[in-house]
């Protein structure tokens, strides 16, 4: 059985991820950039691992999402 604390953290992470995706779509649409599935995945990956304070990529993710790499 999953603990309540773990469940709340997972729910918060999913909500934050959804908000980030919606913001990216809104911002790209506002700038006139056409966003497909691959571009959105790249942007999400960058946001997940980019540290704005240090201005470099981190080894550990901020949101804890799992990533699946598709080869086209």
Would residue 52 count as lying in a domain? yes
Would residue 70 count as lying in a domain? no
The pLDDT assigned to 72 comes to 63
Would residue 20 count as lying in a domain? no
**Structural domains counted in the chain:** 1
Would residue 27 count as lying in a domain? no
The pLDDT assigned to 16 comes to 77
Q: Where are the beta strands (DSSP E) in 1-72?
A: 50-51, 56-57
Using CA atoms, how far apart are residues 5 and 47, in angstroms rounded to an integer? 25
Residue 13, classed as helix, strand or coil, is helix
Would residue 71 count as lying in a domain? no
Query: What percentage of the chain's residues is helix, strand, coil (to nearest 5)?
Result: 55, 5, 40
Would residue 46 count as lying in a domain? yes
Would residue 51 count as lying in a domain? yes
**Residue 47 belongs to domain spanning:** 36-64
The pLDDT assigned to 36 comes to 84
The pLDDT assigned to 61 comes to 74
Question: pTM of the predicted model, to two decimals?
Answer: 0.61
Ordered per-residue pLDDT tens for the chain, 72 residues? 568 888 788 788 788 778 877 888 888 889 998 888 888 888 888 877 777 677 777 777 767 777 777 666
How far from 52 is each of 24, 28, 39, 59, CA to CA, in Å?
Answer: 17, 20, 20, 14
């Amino acid at each position: 059985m999953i603990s309540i604390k773990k469940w709340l953290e997972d729910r918060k992470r999913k909500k934050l991820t959804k908000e980030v995706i919606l913001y990216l779509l809104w911002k790209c649409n506002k700038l006139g950039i056409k966003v497909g599935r691959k571009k959105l995945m790249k942007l999400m990956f960058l946001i997940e691992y980019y540290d704005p304070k240090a201005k470099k990529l981190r080894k550990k993710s901020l949101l804890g999402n799992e990533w699946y790499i598709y080869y086209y």
